[in-house]
Amino acid sequence: MNKKYILITLLLGTLLLLIFLTIFFLSRVVQPTTPHDIHPTPTLIQTISITGKPDSTLEVPTNSPEEGGGVDLEADRTQQSIQEIEKIRPYLPYYETLSLSTGIDVDVSIPNNLVDARPWILTVYINGIDFQIPENLPAYDLYRTSFREAAGKTLTFLQENGVNTSLVFINWGNESYVQERAEQWLTE
């Protein structure tokens, strides 16, 4: 009887401890920190230059409607992009966390899309940038500068591995708003 009482007490104590720990960890709300209060150094935006800017994916050559539309896979520009992307394939997948001069850390990844249905487009993800930030917020310049710096470092990685980045069609993410904002920031 004594052993049963001790065993039941231990089981109930362990169960209560597990319940309290579960409640404790589930009730903790982690507030994400966003750098909306951080302001970049005013001269930083002018100091970041990007060489070998890629063409917009909107400029991919297409066939006429009479030819059935779609991407013109025989066009020189399409073939050039495919050839340049093939140069980087041995170095993919590529993952790097960059600590930028703006104080933001971003993760850059270029997947190895050997089975990509669009071999003329190189997909680059830069995570840690708010691409939807309104232009009137103080952190807008921070994110723009951070993206430009990360994109510049990514293009340098590609160039150091023999890629002429001005001939590559780069998709900067899966969402259209990311691509649009990225192209906007690269041309500013």
DSSP single-letter state for residue 41: -
DSSP single-letter state for residue 170: E
Q: Which helix (H) or strand (E) holds 94?
A: strand 94-99
pTM for this predicted structure: 0.67
pLDDT in tens, 29-60: 444 444 444 333 333 333 334 444 555 545 67
Burial of 134 (0-12, 13-18, 19+ CB in 10 A): exposed
Strands (E), 102-151: 105-110, 121-123, 125-127
pLDDT in tens, 58-116: 567 776 777 777 777 777 888 888 899 999 989 888 999 999 999 999 999 999 876 56
In angstroms, the CA 87 to CA 4 distance is: 71
Q: How confident is residue 162, by pLDDT bands cut at 50, 70 and 90?
A: very high
The predicted structure's pLDDT at residue 153:
93
* 83 CB-near residues (< 8 Å, 6+ apart): 167
Of the candidates 176, 174, 157, the one whose C-alpha atom is nearest the C-alpha of residue 165 is: 157
Q: How confident is residue 171, by pLDDT bands cut at 50, 70 and 90?
A: confident
